[in-house]
Amino acid sequence: MTALASSARPAAAASSQARRPDLSSALPVSFRGLRRTFGTGGSAHTVLRDIDFEVERGEVLAILGPSGCGKSTLLRATAGLDAPSAGTVNIGTTPVQGIDPRCAFAFQEPRLLPWHTLQANVAIGLPKSASAKDGKAKVARLLELVGLDKFAKHRPREVSGGMAQRASLARALARNPGVLLLDEPFGALDALTRIKMQDLLLDIHAAEPTTVLLVTHDVDEALQLADRIVVLGKETGREGDGATIVRTVVVPGERPRDRGSAELARMRSSLLESLGVEGN
Amino acid sequence: MTHPGNPDLTGNSVTPTSAQGLAATGVDVTTAGAAQPPAPDQGGHTPANGWSPAGVLDKGWARLLLGLLLPAALIGAWQWSTSAGLFSVVQLPPPAMVFEAAADLIQRGELGKHVAISTQRVLIGFGLGAGLGLAFGALVGLSRVADVLLAPTIGALRAVPSLAWVPLLILWMKIGEDSKVTLIMIGAFFPVFTTVSLALRHVDRNLVEAGRAFGLKGLKLLTTVQLPAVVPSVFSGLRLALAQAWLFLVAAELIASSMGLGFLLTDSQNNGRTDRLLLAIVLLAVIGKITDALLGVAEKWAVKRWA
């Protein structure tokens, strides 16, 4: 694992200088008046409201917010796993209706099929159009990209949590997605593995640039990975309503960014303040 | 084991298997944290040196021998009680007489016929019933519409005692293979239906959602995610169904047949041939156990493959 992360570093650095060589498969996403209410009548409660936002093609967008603020709901609406109560999500120029083949999802848990090998699990992500031969080659390439080529024949329970999460990432990439949706994909990992996974994600994004929507509650992770950060939360005075976008931040600097930079530290405390964490 | 479609029984048989599965996963995950993947050897409880009772109990041949202890003791007690004159020969003939009865029936070529036709009926009825049980169980377990529409009717049909079908089946299909196979089919249907429909409702939602997120739906989702996830439950349903199939076979053959082990039972009863009667019972026990063991082997393989 260590070997992979460190050996892949120079490649990532090189490609981020020649920024985003190929954006052919990346797609822009736009949210128009998105609202999601659960339940009906008296028990109805709105989770998200008035989400109007554009994500550029190839952009890495982090979605920050306190837990329960509808971050995952936003992501699920983009994937078509959940239907908004009002408004639309557009990918490219067409709206999302039902599960969208242009998206790929990596969940907080790996969610691999325990009876399949990692290889077979990654293959589940392949688009329907893929031929058997191309699919096999692609799975092999992705397993190599996430450093699991030696574990292709292992079952998920035979590998560590971080490895399973990497397989889950490879499965999402196998879809060749226009939009990659990551729902706190590193949240359940230990700190060291998380940093390695973040680096891996940057490498992957450099190798296969796609639009990335990353839900996280980790401010540092957002600052490290994203081009822009949106903060979801409740507006003061409208706490009874659902969460909406309360802040948008453009993160300066090329990736990989210096984790100790003073500018990022300032942004960090400012973002934490937006999230309702006082102090520092 | 043979209560027709007892929901408690089927419910119980689902839970422990899935609990075992969870426990096994938990253990594996913790051991897999190490840099190297754990060795695939799952059954290595036996210490490398020395003798341990648990180690011997894991050996196939030892289990077989120990399992045969009680039957051997029973035959011994049987032999002893008959030679001591505790029972008349009509009440309980000695083991040797039953053995001779078997040899006699084999010589006349009748025993093979009885066994073959009974086994054939069970296998066909079990196959059809289990297949339908799987199909309807999948439908009711996965579709809320099907659940609302079908489940009350199927539940009511399950409540009909098996033998109540016999007159109707004979009226409709006459006394032939069809009516018997149909009765066995009915017997095999319900355990599979119940276990499969219940288990499918409890498949890990996260896995199903992941499958859907990657474009799986309908039959493909069923065969890729849902059915593999319920393999242990399917097999406990199948084993119950097989036991039911043998039960219903004897019911069918007792009532109307000219061949088969059930016929051998009634025929021997009418002719006062207690030796043949015992022979039929022993054969039912042995063949029933063999078919169950074969299914058990398939289960072991399937659980290892899919769980």
Q: Is residue B54 included in any domain, yes or no? A: no
Q: Cβ contact (<8 Å) for A114 and B307?
A: yes
Residue B88's pLDDT is 87
User: How large is the C-alpha radius of gyration of chain B?
Assistant: 23
Q: What distances in angstroms separate CA A102 from CA A92, A207, B6, B171, one per listed residue?
A: 10, 18, 47, 59
Q: Is residue B61 included in any domain, yes or no? A: no
Q: Cβ contact (<8 Å) for B216 and A124?
A: yes
Look up the CATH superfamily of A1-18+60-102+177-280.
P-loop containing nucleotide triphosphate hydrolases (3.40.50.300)
Number of separate domains in chain B: 1
Q: Which residues pair with A249 in a beta bridge?
A: A229
**Segment holding B277, helix H or strand E:** helix B274-306
Contact A203, A11 (CB under 8 A): yes
Measured in angstroms, the CA of A156 and the nearest CA of chain B are apart by 9
Q: Cβ contact (<8 Å) for A104 and B32?
A: no
**pLDDT per residue of chain A (280 residues) written in tens, 0 to 9:** 444 444 444 444 444 444 444 566 889 999 999 999 998 888 888 899 999 999 999 999 999 988 888 899 999 999 999 999 999 999 988 999 989 999 999 999 999 999 999 999 999 999 888 788 889 999 998 898 888 999 999 999 999 988 999 999 999 989 889 999 999 988 888 888 888 888 888 988 888 789 999 999 889 999 999 999 999 988 877 777 888 998 999 998 888 888 888 888 899 988 998 887 754 4
Measured in whole angstroms, the distance separating CA B124 from the mean position of its chain's CA atoms is 14
Residue of A99, A128, A151 lying closest to B213 (CB–CB) = A99
Residue whose entry in the numeric block shows the structure tokens 């199939």? B245
Nearest residue of A to residue B40, measured between CA atoms: A158
The verdict on A157 touching B (C-beta cutoff 8 Å) is: yes
Residue of B29, B38, B207 lying closest to A113 (CB–CB) = B207
Measured in whole angstroms, the distance separating CA A242 from the mean position of its chain's CA atoms is 22
Q: Which domain holds residue B196?
A: 92-306
Beta-strand pair A29-38/A45-55? antiparallel
Nearest residue of A to residue B303, measured between CA atoms: A115
Closest Cα partner for A70 from A270, A245, A222? Answer: A245
Nearest residue of A to residue B26, measured between CA atoms: A157
CA atoms within 13 A on the CB side of A56: 11
Residue of A99, A111, A151 lying closest to B207 (CB–CB) = A111
pLDDT-based confidence at B258, cuts 50/70/90? confident
**What does DSSP assign to residue A79?**
H
Residue B5's pLDDT is 40
Query: Taking CB atoms and an 8 Å cutoff, what residues of chain B touch A160?
Result: 32-33
Closest Cα partner for B142 from B197, B204, B210? Answer: B197
Residue B39's pLDDT is 42
Q: Is residue B31 included in any domain, yes or no? A: no
Query: Taking CB atoms and an 8 Å cutoff, what residues of chain A touch B206?
Result: 107, 109, 111
Measured in angstroms, the CA of B203 and the nearest CA of chain A are apart by 12
Contact A123, A113 (CB under 8 A): no
Strand order in the sheet with A228-233: A103-106, A179-183, A211-216, A60-64, A228-233, A244-250
Neighbours of B21 (CB within 10 A): 17
**Helices B95-107 and B274-306: crossing angle, nearest 10°?**
80
Looking up residue B119, the CATH number of its domain turns out to be: 1.10.3720.10
Contact B256, B262 (CB under 8 A): no
Q: Is residue B46 included in any domain, yes or no? A: no
Rounded to two decimals, the ipTM of the complex is 0.82
Nearest residue of B to residue A2, measured between CA atoms: B35
Query: Taking CB atoms and an 8 Å cutoff, what residues of chain B touch A171?
Result: 214
Amino acid at A169: L
Contact A169, A205 (CB under 8 A): no
Query: Taking CB atoms and an 8 Å cutoff, what residues of chain B touch A79?
Result: 213
Residue of B32, B207, B305 lying closest to A157 (CB–CB) = B32
Q: Domain residues of chain A, as ranges?
A: 1-18+60-102+177-280, 114-176
Q: What distances in angstroms separate CA A43 from CA A46, A200, A239, one per listed residue?
A: 10, 43, 16
Query: Taking CB atoms and an 8 Å cutoff, what residues of chain B touch A114?
Result: 25, 307
Contact A157, B29 (CB under 8 A): yes
Across A132-146, B30-44, B72-86, B115-129, which has the greatest mean pLDDT? B115-129
Q: Which two tokens stand for residue B56?
A: 């011997």
Q: Cβ contact (<8 Å) for A124 and B211?
A: yes
Task: Report the range of poorest mean pLDDT among B43-52, B163-172, B232-241.
Answer: B43-52
Mean pLDDT (whole number) for B49-58? 65
